[in-house]
A and B are shown apart, each in its own frame.
Chain A
Amino acid sequence: MAEPVAEPVTDPASVTVDRALVDRVALLARLRLTDDESTAMTAHLARMLELVDHLAEVDDPAASPYTGPAGATRPLREDEPRPSLPVAEALRNAPGLAGAPEDEGAFRVPAVLE
């Protein structure tokens, strides 16, 4: 099954928030919106971008984008193998396992390939 690919969008200055844009973003986000939801989302996204556009007024292109708080020690733990979650426990909350053999030890999903 070929997965639909969203059209790339390139020019921020030309952004028009319309149904087509909302539908592309919904596809990327793996959300299926109803007609009503798409309409409401189009209006909402337009208003949010209007709000966010005000950041241009205070933006300093010379500033470094935030990457995390400096000034504190945040050591990584030793890279040593440790026991992980047992398979049975990892599967305990898994959907779609009704009827699967108890010792299968795998998640089940609908067809990935046609």
Chain B
Amino acid sequence: MTALDFLRLDLPALLAAILACGTCGLLGSFLVLRRDSLLGDALSHAVLPGIIAGFALTGARAGLPMLLGALAAALLAVVAISLVRRVARLESGAATGAVFTSFFALGLMLMEATGARSVDLDLDCVLFGQLESVVWLEAQGFGSLLDPTALAALPRQLFLLAAVATVLAGLVALLWRPLHLLCFDPDYAAAIGLPARGLELALNLMVAAAAVAAFEAVGSILVVAMLVCPAAAIRLLTDSYRAQVLGGAALGAALGALGYALAGPLPAAFGQAFSLNAAGVIGTLGGLAVAGAMLLRQLRIAPPKPAVISG
């Protein structure tokens, strides 16, 4: 493997994996802390019809209409879930399951109906993720990293991922204290006048944005893995809010990098012609991380700590 191959094939995919998994890991902590993990499952499926509609309306595989369509679909899904919960008096899990599967089925049908499947959006990329297709063929060497024209030809998924990651990280930093309160004491948060429902909505939209940005890279179901697994693993190991949120992001990013490396480049570097779907390996590692954290928690002979969460 040459340096040029690395630049052209592996670097963009590696960056995409790190950005997607880091962003999902960052937001996942809030889902796990709020006992709302299934929302990640729901939103990562429910954005599909929005994405397809974004394609169909603009006829282009551009990032922004896709993102907006996905956010609209996510919003609709959240509203639909609460409506179904109220009217059909279902517990939240069942209501979530009823809504997101319907949305996903609608998305699959729209895909057929609009012809988006054959032309624009590969079904495999929804189901499996296509990290391997994130390539930077314009790279001529390490000098290209400083060359604006070559940089402009970086895959567009990377730009979308980077933009979404930056915005979401900024929002989390901005809403650090309110989100903390929302996770641990929503009633108190509401009592001191925080717009709790607005915050919840913002959180849902942030998850949806992360889901749709990561969608193409790791696929819809592996978005769930990256939302929940790093956060749950960290949840088993710490009681600190800061460690939880930042640790989730770091573990997500690390799993993304490690998973991508294990899926192909690393075996190839040792002369093994062995390649797996990178998103699959990353998700598997996510499950292993939770299992490892579980073991670690059981092995750790520590005095029982008071379950007080400090910022």
Q: Do A and B come from one complex?
A: no
B contact residues vs A (CB 8 Å cutoff): none
A contact residues vs B (CB 8 Å cutoff): none
